[in-house]
């Protein structure tokens, strides 16, 4: 339980520290999504939905751009979304590393694994 609490503490603190970047990326996704929606004549909610489904690379396919400008903007949404997701994954991995190093002797575990594998 202590391991989990350490992980969560580091994760939440780091997300807070990078939140200006994450907020900027979310605003960028939203604005570009509204641009696409205006071109495609979608509602504001449909445009927001499309933007975040595209940014997370889920892409259900229920909405898709038909115009050249909105297709290009959709590519930008996807790239910004990958960056957004990558930052969150990086924060999670770093938080895991900190928690592991705080609660376990990682070098000892590594040596035990090498011994068990016969290296």
The pLDDT of residue 67: 96
Residue 117 buriedness (CB in 10 A; 0-12 / 13-18 / 19+): exposed
The pLDDT of residue 115: 85
For the chain, give every domain's residue range. Answer: 2-117
Q: List, in sequence order, the alpha helices (H) in the chain.
A: 2-40, 44-55, 68-103, 106-117
- CA–CA dist 105, 109 (Å, integer): 6
Contact 11, 95 (CB under 8 A): yes
pLDDT digits (tens, 9 = 90+) for 47-62: 999 999 999 989 898 9
pLDDT digits (tens, 9 = 90+) for 104-119: 877 888 888 888 887 6
CATH number for the domain running over 2-117: 1.10.287.70
Helices 44-55 and 68-103: crossing angle in degrees, nearest 10, is 50
Average pLDDT value for the chain? 94
What's the predicted TM-score (pTM) here? 0.83
């Amino acid at each position: 339980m202590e391991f989990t609490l350490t992980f969560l503490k580091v994760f939440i603190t780091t997300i807070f520290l990078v939140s200006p970047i994450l907020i900027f990326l979310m605003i960028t996704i939203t604005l570009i999504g509204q641009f696409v929606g205006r071109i495609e004549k979608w509602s504001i909610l449909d445009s927001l939905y499309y933007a975040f489904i595209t940014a997370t690379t889920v892409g259900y396919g229920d909405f898709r751009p038909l115009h050249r400008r909105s297709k290009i903007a959709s590519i930008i949404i996807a790239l910004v979304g990958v960056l957004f997701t990558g930052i969150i994954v990086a924060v999670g991995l770093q938080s895991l590393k900190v928690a592991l190093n705080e609660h376990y002797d990682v070098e000892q575990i590594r040596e035990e694994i090498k011994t068990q594998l016969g290296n």
